[in-house]
Each structure stands twice: as C-alpha cells, then as structure tokens.
Chains A and B, each alone.
Chain A
C-alpha cells in the first residue's frame, strides 16, 4: 500500500509573531520553523498503518515548500517515513490553496497513492482548504479532522471518527481517500536517534514546477491580502460590578459570550 503524508513547514506559533515593518507579512527574523503540528499526527498515523499492514507498505512524505523545508522533511523521515517528494520552486512563494493543491495533485498523482494523511489545517494560514481541493482534484473522498481511524480488513475502506460540536461523527469511507488528522488521533513519536541516523540515507525527490510539467504557476492570484492587523491590546482587567451579585454574573456571562467569544 502506498501511504502519502502531506507536510508543511510553518513558523512556531508558540513564540511571538509580529507584523513586519512594511505591513506586508510577518517578521521572520528569529523565528523557528517546525513541522505543522497537525501534520505530526498524520505522519504518526501513516507510520502506524505501515506497522499494521506490513508487507511492502510505504510511507512517502509530500511537501511543498522552500529549500529550507528539507529539515522538516528529514525529521519526518527520521520519525520513520520511507522517502519524500519535495516540491520547491521560487514561483511558489506565497502560493494560495488552489495553487498548492494543483501542484500536490500533480506530484502525488504522478507517483500513485492508496491513502493520503495530512493535518487538519496549517497553523500559519489556518485555512484548512488545500486538502479538500486536493481531494477534489484527485477525485477521492475526504474525511476531515479525524480523531480515530481504523482500516478495514480488506483495505478497501476505513472507519473514521471526527469530533463535531457536542458529539462525534462516525464515518465510513472507501479507499483511496484523504484523511486530515486532528489532535487526539494518536501520540506522535519522537524522531529517535537511530531514525535520525537512517534518515540520512533516505531519498528526497526534489521537483520544480517545470519537473511537474507546469509552464507557469497554476491557479495564481485568486486573492490578495490587503492588511495585516495585530490583536487589540488586552489592557486592564475588566472588573464586572453591579448592585446585585447575580446581575454582575449575568453581565460577565454576556461579556464572555459576546465580547471575548469564549462560550
């Protein structure tokens, strides 16, 4: 079975993210880049599937990203993936979801696949679109934000659970399919030291747009960011007061719902 795992190199959002001086994007100096955390669940699920099925099951990482993304790819290989395809082209800088999907579709479609795992969203743009557009382009079904996954004995279908508001949906999908992964699906393994050692020898196939048969960037320019805005300053604590305690609490609940939007 050919398992493909999508991987994106993203800035570590645990650190402070600031807008650059020109207001055209984020400040990249001093930023650490990591594997998109949701993609780690995808890599882990791919590895577990290979461990379960054995045989000639292979896990291939597919990553569209700049040259620096090789470290993220190498980490996925160190976790246990077998090989990787790295699509890298200066023309793809700032690419939108339809561009990314078209490029990935060409690369993955070209190499063949039986199942695709990916993270439910990338923590930089938080769009959660690329995987669905990719699934449509590859003409395969999708199940998003999986919190459980079980392949059927015959390998032709899978049972997938996903959390929704107030419950859990149990899906059944035929394979091939695209499954995007959510936190809680599994516990991603660390890149072990033997894994890091073996990763050195694993193959990363680098492809430019031309290698994939594109004479120009596909689906370019469907949207434009016109402004970058910081979060409003949090300021002082809002002390909620009223004559009666009950009234104050009611006001607090209103603020939490309407202003803070946390309930």
Chain B
C-alpha cells in the first residue's frame, strides 16, 4: 500500500513540473496548460487527505467536494482564459509573453 507521504510527494512533484512550465515557457497556451497541471496536483493531495482521514469509517467527503468545486471552477476559468487569449491574438497577432511589453517601463 502506498502511504500518504508517497501521494503528497507525487502531488508535489506534479506541482513543481507545472511551476517549471509556468516560469520557463513563453507560449501563453502552454503556460495555461501548466496552470491546469498545478490545479490537478492540488486536487491529488486533497483526494489523498480525504482517503487517509476516515470519518465514521468512510473517506472524508468534504475534501472530495472541494475537488469537485475546483474542477468546475477550473473549467469556467479555462473557457474565459482561452477567450482572452483569442482576443489577445486578434489584437496583437502573438501569444508569446516575450512580445507583450506594453507594461514595460
């Protein structure tokens, strides 16, 4: 049986991969996918905590409710975010973060 720390380690590694992608990649769509990876890593640790903390002999379903809400909010966030990316591409013809320098002093 895998223990709680194994699940937390794997979840932390997935989060680290997502973080590396957000920092290193310059394509906004890839950055957005890496944000999804980070959300999923948080979901994995929530489900692991839910399974390993039994209440009345059952997994703690409050944790899984939070995962349900996170997944739904992430779906809404993806829809809005991709619409913003499409609007950005129409306005600037680029989705590379290097070329978006309006805020640079």
Binding partners A and B:
no
Mark A residues whose CB is within 8 Å of B: none
Mark B residues whose CB is within 8 Å of A: none
